[in-house]
Structures are given as structure tokens and as C-alpha cells.
Amino acid sequence: MTKNPPSKQDLFTSPDYYNIDDLLSEEHILIRGSIRDWVKREVSPIIEEYAEKAECPTHLFRQLGDIGALGPSLPEKYGCGGMDEIAYGIIMQELERGDSGIRSMASVQGSLVMYPIYKYASEDIKQKFLPKLATGELIGCFGLTEPDHGSNPNGMLTNIRDAGDHYILNGSKMWITNSPIADLAVVWAKDEDQVIRGLIVEKGMAGFSTPEIHGKWSLRASITGELVFEDVKIPKENVFPEIKGLKGPLSCLSKARYGISWGAIGAAMDCYESALRYSKERIQFGKPIGQFQLTQKKLAEMITEITKAQLLSWRLGSLLNEGKATPAQISMAKRNNVHMALEIAREARQIHGGMGITNEYPVMRHMMNLETVLTYEGTHDIHLLITGLDVTGLNAFN
Ligand code: TGC
Ligand code: FAD
């Protein structure tokens, strides 16, 4: 993979229109600086080529471990960072500023694989997997969605059957980030009583395969696949003992959705900064396009929406730190901020004119990525209905 020419420098600084940095601790600012430096050094120079070739930069997993981006808010005794929720959010913001696919690598590993193992597995299983997942030596994936059950995971068909000293797993999962390169999968399946259970499936288990999904125009630097289970023998200790029902996987999604609310801000900031810079450099009708009122309207609305999103995620992080955030509050931030970022990417693309569709600028890549982010971890409309249910008490799902 060739690196970009040195002329294509990453000049990102990050806007802070409301002095939101004053709400952050010194540690938060230090963490942000170190993740930002890493993204500038390791992600920005290669990301366009990887996205163009639809290849996942798997060599970055170990580096994500080195910079503390894998499970940053889980306890240090398992090799994790022990950080607060705001620090976790800031890390996701900086990673997604680089590319949503890089943030996906970290948020799936931390929130969807390490978190359920930490929260629901036995101590032996935690010791076996968490330290190696934290360093990126092991890669994990999360299997909830099925070919016929996306927004409605409760209808899942994947099932486990008790076979004495082990379980037998059958079924399939679809659209699974990292599945073709994963060493283990956290999978959700129904038992004989139709109760959803969580379990760990390990690479190499007989009857387990992970075919890759090709042809994505979005999240191209992230690898996606299926999980196929044909009479897979699962040791009993790999099944989470206590957690039962949909709240198991949904509790993991709450963690990841919160991270995405910050990540989307990163993508939006990158598009905004690129558009702002371009608007001052690009001359039409004898003046910079940034001098036209219509361009200024776009930029003014962008920075307003970014600022509102920053405040939303910061406040949500504070509520999470205090143990007070509700799943519906998390839903609102995920939906609002991803939609905001996608709108900004589209407007920024317009400000760049024809150049906006090329890989000279990051906006089209962010825009295409955000189409996935709008859909995964609960679609935009599902999150609207979660808020609708929360404010009316009336359930649109049943
Ligand atoms: P419902 O009856 O509402 O809830 C069932 C149980 O779960 C509890 N609960 C939650 N618990 C923790 N966190 C949350 N966010 C929770 N939301 C609900 C709820 O209290 C209840 O508990 P209990 O004790 O009463 O049993 O369930 P429902 O079947 O009506 O479904 C509701 C709905 C539609 C909101 C839910 O199914 C949903 O969120 N659907 C969207 C599916 C989704 O988000 N899939 C994501 C797949 S993973 C993914 O996309 C990863 S992308 C990774 C990347 O690359 O970054
Ligand atoms: P559907 O549920 O079929 O929805 C189609 C449309 O119908 C949507 O617009 C939806 O909003 C709408 N709709 C559905 N129900 C309702 C309703 N009740 N009211 C109004 N509108 C409704 N899943 C995992 O488990 N693990 C992963 O790692 C993972 N990674 C992913 C990576 C990528 C690149 C993608 C694209 C998806 C990934 N997903 C993953 C799956 C993702 O979570 C699902 O795509 C998402 O939940 C939507 O499910 P679906 O695609 O089946 O769409």
C-alpha cells in the first residue's frame, strides 16, 4: 500500500466554538492529543487507499491496543484503561475523525466484545480473553443481526441446544463487523425455552465459518461478514451464566451507541474543517467562495450543529459517569449526532464542488461511511421510535 504524497497533509485541529474544552479534564485533553497524533501519523496517510481498495488495515489492531483504544473504560486489572466515559467518547471522536471504519474496529472490540465478557462471563473466561483483546492480539466480533432479523433482533432464529456437557449451536448472523478476521465471536442465540443467551464462539470450532460480504460502497476500510453455525459444539463455560433476554445484547449496544455519538462528531468536524479551509482558498467570481452568503450559511449551520452535538455527548457522558443515563437518552444522541454528521458531510461535499467527490478530500469517504453509521447500532428511525416510546409511553413496536 503506497502512502499519500507529503503534500496531502492532515491539518486537523478541531473546532471548539463554545469553549467545550473547559469542560474537559487535563487527562481528557492529553488523551485526545495522543489519539489525534496517532490518527495523523498512522491513519490519515493510508486511509484513502485502503478505502479505495476495500481493504481493512488489520495491522492497526495492535496499535489500537498500544494507544489504549480497546476497552478504555474497562478495569485496569484486565489490561484495560480504567478511564471514564468522557475519555472513551473522546477516543471514539478522534478515531472516527480518521475514519468510521477505524472507530468501528475499536468500538466493536471494546463495547460489543470486551464489555459483555467483562460484564457477563465467568472470571476464568475474563482472564482468558480480556487482556489479549485489550492489546489487539485477539480480535473479536459481535453477532446479533440475522438475515431476516435486523431491527427486530428478538425474532432471531439462531439457537443453542443443551447436549449434556456442551451446547450445540445452529443458525447464522449477517453484517458482522470483523467476522472474517475474528478470533472469537460474542453471539446471541435462543435456548430451548426461547430465551436469548450470550456465548463465545472461537475460531477453529468445527462447523463455524465466517464468509466475507463484498460490494460495500460504505465503510470500505472495515471488513464485514457473516457468521455461520452448523452444529457447532460450544463448551458450557463459553455460555454467559446469568444474563438472559434481549437486555443482554442491548446493554452492549448502549455502550457502543454512546461511543458512536462522539464518533460522528469527529467525522462532522473533519468535513467542516475541510470545507472551511476550501471556502477560503477556492476563488470564483473573483473572490473566495467563503465570501458568498450561501456558503457562509452552510458553514454557520455546520458549526452550530457540531456545537449542539458536542454538548449533547458531553452531558450524556457525564450522566453515564454518574450512572444516571437511560438507554433512551443514548438513543437520542446516537440518532441526532449521526444524522447531523451525515448532513454536514453532504453540505461539505457541495462546498468542495467537483473536488468533493474525489479522494483528495475526506468528505465523500465520511459521507459514504455515515450512511452505514446511520443504519447500524439501530437505524435512525428505530431510534426515533425509541424516543417516541419514551415520551408517549406508547410502544410502536408491538
Ligand atoms: P424491549 O421489550 O424494548 O426490550 C427488551 C429488554 O431489554 C431492555 N432494554 C435495554 N437494556 C439495556 N440497554 C438498552 N439499550 C435497552 N433497550 C431495551 C428492556 O428494558 C427489556 O428488559 P426486560 O428486563 O423487560 O426484559 O425489546 P423489543 O423487542 O421491543 O425491541 C426494542 C428495539 C426495537 C428498540 C430493539 O430491538 C432495538 O434496539 N433494535 C435495533 C437493533 C440493533 O440496534 N441492532 C444492532 C446490531 S449490532 C451492530 O449494529 C453493530 S455495528 C458495529 C460497528 O461496526 O460499529
Ligand atoms: P431492517 O431492519 O430490515 O430495516 C430496513 C428499514 O426498515 C430501515 O429503514 C428501518 O428503519 C425500517 N424499519 C424496520 N422496522 C421498522 C419499524 N418498526 N418502524 C419503522 N421502520 C422500520 N450487526 C451486528 O449484529 N453486528 C455487527 O458487527 C454489525 N455490523 C454491521 C456493519 C455494517 C457495515 C452494516 C451495514 C450493518 C452491521 N450490522 C451489524 C447490522 C445492523 O445493525 C443492521 O443493518 C441494522 O440493525 C438494521 O437491520 P437491517 O439491515 O436488517 O434493516
What is the per-residue pLDDT across 320-330, written as a single tens digit (0 to 9) for each?
999 999 999 99
Q: 6-15, 107-116, 219-228, 240-249: lowest mean pLDDT where?
A: 6-15
Please give the grid coordinates belonging to residue 375.
Answer: 443504519
> H or E segment at 135?
helix 123-135
CA 174 to the chain's CA centroid = 17
Residue (of 184, 67, 162, 195) closest to 117 by Cα position: 184
Q: Is 130 a residue whose pLDDT tops 90?
A: yes
Ligand nearest to the backbone CA of 106:
1
Establish whether residue 151 lines the binding site of ligand 2, counting it when its CB lies within 6 angstroms of any ligand atom.
Answer: yes
Q: What is the pLDDT of residues 364-389, one digit of tens each?
A: 999 999 999 999 999 999 999 999 99
CA of 266 to the centre of ligand 2 (A): 23
Residue (of 254, 257, 224, 227) closest to 105 by Cα position: 224
Ligand nearest to the backbone CA of 149:
2
The arithmetic mean of pLDDT across residues 221-246, rounded, is 98
Q: Which of 48, 146, 347, 377 is catalytic?
A: 377
Ligand nearest to the backbone CA of 54:
2
The arithmetic mean of pLDDT across residues 124-133, rounded, is 98
Q: Is 173 a residue whose pLDDT tops 60?
A: yes
Establish whether residue 385 lines the binding site of ligand 1, counting it when its CB lies within 6 angstroms of any ligand atom.
Answer: no
Strand extents, DSSP E, 251-350: 283-284, 287-288
Active site (annotated) includes residue 76? no
* β-strand pairing of 140-143 with 184-190: parallel
Please report which confidence band the pLDDT of residue 100 belongs to, taking 50, 70 and 90 as the band edges: very high
The arithmetic mean of pLDDT across residues 16-43, rounded, is 98
- If one residue of 151, 177, 216, 218 were mutated to test the ligand 2 pocket, choosing by the most ligand atoms within 8 A of its CB, it would be 151
CA of 379 to the centre of ligand 2 (A): 6
CA of 175 to the centre of ligand 2 (A): 9
Percent of the chain with pLDDT over 90: 97
Q: What is the pLDDT of residues 41-95, one digit of tens each?
A: 999 999 999 999 999 999 999 999 999 999 999 999 999 999 999 999 999 999 9
Establish whether residue 376 lines the binding site of ligand 1, counting it when its CB lies within 6 angstroms of any ligand atom.
Answer: yes
Establish whether residue 382 lines the binding site of ligand 1, counting it when its CB lies within 6 angstroms of any ligand atom.
Answer: yes
182, 210 contact by CB (below 8 A): yes
Please give the grid coordinates belonging to residue 300.
Answer: 454557520
Q: List Cα–Cα distances, 202 to 120, 147, 161, 209, 248, in angstroms.
A: 17, 21, 18, 10, 20
Establish whether residue 372 lines the binding site of ligand 2, counting it when its CB lies within 6 angstroms of any ligand atom.
Answer: yes
Q: What is the pLDDT of residue 36?
A: 98
Establish whether residue 344 lines the binding site of ligand 1, counting it when its CB lies within 6 angstroms of any ligand atom.
Answer: no
Q: What is the pLDDT of residue 115?
A: 98
Q: Is 268 a residue whose pLDDT tops 50?
A: yes
Please report which confidence band the pLDDT of residue 149 belongs to, taking 50, 70 and 90 as the band edges: very high
Q: How many angstroms separate the CA atoms of 277 and 313, rounded? A: 26
Residue nearest to atom 14 of ligand 1 (CA): 250
Q: How many angstroms separate the CA atoms of 139 and 154, rounded? A: 26
Q: Is 3 a residue whose pLDDT tops 50?
A: no
Q: Is 4 a residue whose pLDDT tops 80?
A: no
341, 393 contact by CB (below 8 A): no
Q: 4-8, 84-88, 134-138: lowest mean pLDDT where?
A: 4-8
Establish whether residue 155 lines the binding site of ligand 1, counting it when its CB lies within 6 angstroms of any ligand atom.
Answer: no
- Total residues found in the chain within this entry: 398
Q: What is the pLDDT of residue 9?
A: 84
Residue 123, C-beta contacts closer than 8 angstroms, at least 6 positions apart: none
Q: What is the pLDDT of residue 82?
A: 97
Matching residue, cell 489490561:
79
The arithmetic mean of pLDDT across residues 220-233, rounded, is 98
Please report which confidence band the pLDDT of residue 2 belongs to, taking 50, 70 and 90 as the band edges: very low
Q: Is 1 a residue whose pLDDT tops 70?
A: no
Structural domains of the chain, ranges and CATH numbers in brackets: 6-135 (1.10.540.10), 140-238 (2.40.110.10), 247-392 (1.20.140.10)
The arithmetic mean of pLDDT across residues 2-15, rounded, is 70
The arithmetic mean of pLDDT across residues 174-181, rounded, is 98
Residue nearest to atom 18 of ligand 2 (CA): 397
Q: Would you tell me how many other CB atoms lie within 10 Å of the CB of residue 189?
A: 26
- If one residue of 148, 382, 394 were mutated to test the ligand 2 pocket, choosing by the most ligand atoms within 8 A of its CB, it would be 382
- The answer, as to whether pTM is greater than 0.95, is yes
Matching residue, cell 485489550:
134
